[in-house]
């Protein structure tokens, strides 16, 4: 049983307390030689925090469900991931800070490599540089699509986003990215009668992009997925009576934060830079969503030791965080990315909540197994926000 | 939060991994001299498996809810037991392999004993032999009901199923079995206006059956319960992209498996026979639902020591199972049947999941209390299937 967003909105009250939510992307792992990445890492500061805190273990979306980053982070912010859905295109557009109009259609684009027969060789075009991506986006933005305006924005490496602006455009069509290699791109398909024009426009864009990229090997093709309008979500600050800020180095997480209405702080580079940004802006906001990507990247690369190293780097920042004396600190992740799996997984994620008002448990270590014995028990990520508000004394009593 | 069957259907993917789900009927118990049946049993193989596995404790239907076998097993297979209901008659008909037509009405029948005043002395007619049951069913099938065709099928011992085939028959009537002794059978009652004809037909059947059984003491009466049409459930193999097989010695569990669309393997007798059947068919399927009944029967009989003995017999089969090298093994029960209660109970049930991709916990024993401290925590049986699919890498990421 879980209070709905509507009930939490009724209960939330504003006060001067400050909450910091640290999201360590893909923090959860699987053991290699008996220890997960988090267990292997030397984390004296996180462990000390765990001793004073109350700990638990959360399922990002549901038991046995491997979440994408969108639903995993939305859930942590209190949005039921089965009810509130952000399609990929809208995530990407928000992430690069593109100001979408309500009738715009955004779609995620990969630069990719195809062979002479048109089959996909590499869905990421050898992860071309971000600079190369910018150059190619400029080239493609020159394509003219009659009465439809075209915008291209670089995300990072091979990732970009395309926005189509015009009348009678629809998000109800499937993409061209088969998410596989050795096959040709999929033909776009209308999923409703009203998507006919959008299919035509997007096909025309793909054809001309292919033509213009002919000599840009390995980036000689584009793949589109996740056609989307801008999602209208209940706004974070309205629901929780907060003045929230996001600190994230990766565009997609800034995108999620922007969609829910957080202010995006321009973060200095690196993990230390993110914490520095937190410190510099600590007075101006009362809720901070600080997202750290590198753990997930190391996990996806299958680099156990690198993930351990990044966790240790994060641990070194904890004293900087605690010197700010925040009223509530939560440290958790959006999902697991075990290095031995090289991808997101369904495994639950440890969480600690530190505040004057916790009822401390006997957990002495910030790790998956230690936290699974913690006083918070095992619960859904979507309940984290109500716990954070409660520990900041930012919620009123439910009924008399 | 739990993903719906519709979401899991979208996420499920086919691969070569094999899953074995062992359901030990009524496995959960209550302590006598400080140990439950499972704690008392010497189970070195199950305990070894628990050490390598991740463990937890499941509520079959909900906290404090004592489930019937239908909802308990449906929940384990991922069907929300409050949404998907199989009435007893349909379960029994499916269990004996009767090919129901959509307009047929099936109802579970017990041979029973009544005294001279018509009060029930034994709801099971002294558990008559299956052979005697067959003989009596043949006798009753001779009853003529005008325009309604009658079919009788023997289940086991005192249990049988009656199918009425005709026009304008309804399932909306209550049965005659009061589930108590020292009272007469209940009069059938229409639960909707359209059930009038069915009440008349079934009453006529009961009257004539009583007449024909006059000299068949102790089986001198029939009790009907669970009038039902054939349930149309989403099919297991479609939802999960599996090619599933069921191994069960008791008709009702084969019935459940058949209703959800599993292939029923003809199992050799005894617990060893069931595991032998698993071994012989291991190559031809990728999901096995292996149901063991005897633990529940011993519990219902109040025979603590017999239940312990059967658990030990099951333990001896574990090496045969593990030699097959299944990718995912789950061992659990559908509900508890404590011998000191002599019936199903609401107590939760231990579960272990064994796979390369588990995050092991510190549980060293397969028992109710040890598993309740396990890494899976406490959860609803309806989430078991998504965990099994995840550990077999048979699910895709939920959104981007």
Least reliable range by pLDDT among A82-96, A319-333, A381-395, B281-295? A82-96
Best interface-test mutation with B: which of A28, A34, A61, A65 has the largest number of B CBs within 10 A?
A: A65
Tell me what the pLDDT averaged over chain A comes to: 96
- All structural domains of chain A with their residue ranges: 5-85+233-391, 91-228
Interchain contact, A65 vs B359, CB within 8 Å:
no
Its sign, for the CA torsion B373, B377, B380, B383, is negative
pLDDT of residue B260: 96
Instruction: Region of B319 please: left (phi>0), alpha (psi -120 to 50) or beta.
Output: alpha
A97 has pLDDT over 90: no
Q: How many CB pairs under 8 A join A and B?
A: 100
Structure tokens at A32: 């290699």
Element (H, E) at B76: helix B69-76
Question: pLDDT tens, A3-35?
Answer: 999 999 999 999 999 999 999 999 999 999 999
Interchain contact, B373 vs A368, CB within 8 Å:
no
Of A62, A71, A226, Cβ closest to residue B386: A62
ipTM for the predicted complex: 0.91
Alpha-carbon gap: B122 to the closest alpha carbon of chain A (Å): 43
Answer yes or no: CATH 1.10.3470 is held by domain B91-228.
no
Question: pLDDT tens, B299-356?
Answer: 999 999 999 999 999 999 999 999 999 999 999 999 999 999 999 999 999 999 999 9
Residue B50: which residues within 8 A CB-CB, separation 6 or more?
B352, B363, B364, B365, B366, B370, B371
Q: What is the mean pLDDT of residues B280-294?
A: 98
pLDDT of residue B153: 97
Tell me what the pLDDT averaged over chain B comes to: 96
Q: What is the mean pLDDT of residues B24-38?
A: 98
pLDDT of residue B97: 86
Q: What is the mean pLDDT of residues A297-303?
A: 95
A166 has pLDDT over 80: yes
Q: Which residues of B touch A88 (CB under 8 A)?
A: 399-400
Interchain contact, B386 vs A61, CB within 8 Å:
no
Give chain A's radius of gyration (CA, Å). Answer: 22
Which residues on neighbouring strands pair with residue B331, listed in sequence order?
Answer: B22, B352
pLDDT of residue A2: 85
Cα–Cα distance measured from residue A53 to residue A59, given in angstroms and rounded to the nearest whole number: 19
pLDDT of residue B102: 87
Cα–Cα distance measured from residue B305 to residue B293, given in angstroms and rounded to the nearest whole number: 16
Name the band, by pLDDT with cuts 50, 70 and 90, for residue A82: very high
- Identify whether the C-beta of residue B289 lies closer than 8 Å to the C-beta of residue B262: yes
- Identify whether the C-beta of residue B348 lies closer than 8 Å to the C-beta of residue B384: no
Q: What is the mean pLDDT of residues A30-50?
A: 98
Class assignment of domain A5-85+233-391? alpha beta
Alpha-carbon gap: B78 to the closest alpha carbon of chain A (Å): 12
pLDDT of residue B5: 95
Q: What is the mean pLDDT of residues B242-254?
A: 95
What percent of chain B has a predicted confidence (pLDDT) above 70?
100
Query: Which chain A residue's Cα is nearest to B52?
Result: A34
Cα–Cα distance measured from residue A381 to residue A1, given in angstroms and rounded to the nearest whole number: 13
Best interface-test mutation with B: which of A4, A59, A63, A110 has the largest number of B CBs within 10 A?
A: A63
pLDDT of residue B129: 97
Backbone angles phi, psi at A275, to 5 degrees: -70, -35
B1 has pLDDT over 80: no
Of B4, B362, B398, Cβ closest to residue A66: B398
A1 has pLDDT over 80: no
Of A63, A108, A347, Cβ closest to residue B383: A63
Name the band, by pLDDT with cuts 50, 70 and 90, for residue B99: confident
Interchain contact, A82 vs B3, CB within 8 Å:
yes
């Amino acid at each position: 049983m879980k209070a709905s967003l509507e009930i939490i909105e009724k209960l939330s009250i504003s006060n001067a307390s400050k909450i910091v939510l640290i999201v360590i992307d893909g923090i959860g792992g699987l053991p290699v030689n008996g220890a997960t990445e988090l267990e292997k890492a030397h984390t004296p500061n996180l462990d000390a925090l765990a001793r004073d805190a109350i700990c638990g273990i959360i399922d990002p979306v549901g038991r046995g469900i491997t979440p994408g980053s969108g639903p995993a982070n939305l859930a942590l912010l209190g949005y039921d991931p089965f009810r509130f859905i952000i399609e990929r295109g809208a995530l990407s557009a928000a992430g690069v800070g593109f100001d979408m109009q309500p009738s715009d259609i955004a779609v995620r684009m990969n630069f990719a490599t195809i062979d002479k027969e048109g089959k996909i060789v590499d869905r990421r075009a050898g992860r071309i540089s971000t600079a190369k991506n910018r150059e190619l986006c400029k080239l493609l933005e020159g394509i003219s699509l009659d009465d439809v305006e075209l915008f291209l924005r670089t995300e990072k490496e091979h990732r970009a986003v395309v926005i189509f602006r015009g009348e009678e455009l629809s998000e109800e069509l499937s993409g061209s990215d088969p998410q596989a290699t050795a096959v040709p791109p999929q033909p776009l398909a209308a999923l409703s009668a009203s998507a006919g024009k959008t299919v035509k426009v997007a096909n025309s864009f793909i054809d001309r992009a292919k033509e213009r990229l002919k000599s840009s090997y390995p980036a000689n093709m584009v793949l589109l997925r996740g056609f989307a309008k801008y999602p209208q979500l209940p706004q974070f600050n309205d629901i929780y009576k907060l003045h929230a800020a996001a600190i994230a180095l990766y565009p997609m997480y800034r995108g999620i934060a922007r969609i829910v209405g957080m202010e995006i702080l321009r973060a200095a580079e690196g993990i230390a830079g993110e914490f520095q940004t937190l410190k510099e802006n600590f007075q101006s906001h009362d809720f901070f969503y600080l997202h750290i990507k590198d753990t997930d990247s190391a996990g996806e690369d299958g680099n156990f030791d690198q993930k351990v190293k990044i966790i240790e780097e994060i641990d070194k920042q904890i004293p900087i965080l605690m010197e700010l004396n925040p009223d509530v600190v939560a440290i958790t992740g959006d999902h697991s990315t075990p290095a031995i799996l090289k991808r997101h997984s369904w495994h639950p994620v440890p969480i600690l909540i530190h505040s004057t008002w916790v009822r401390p448990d006997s957990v002495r270590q910030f790790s998956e197994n230690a936290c699974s014995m913690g006083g918070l028990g095992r619960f859904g990520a979507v309940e984290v926000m109500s716990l954070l508000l409660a520990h900041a004394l930012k919620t009123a009593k439910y009924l008399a």
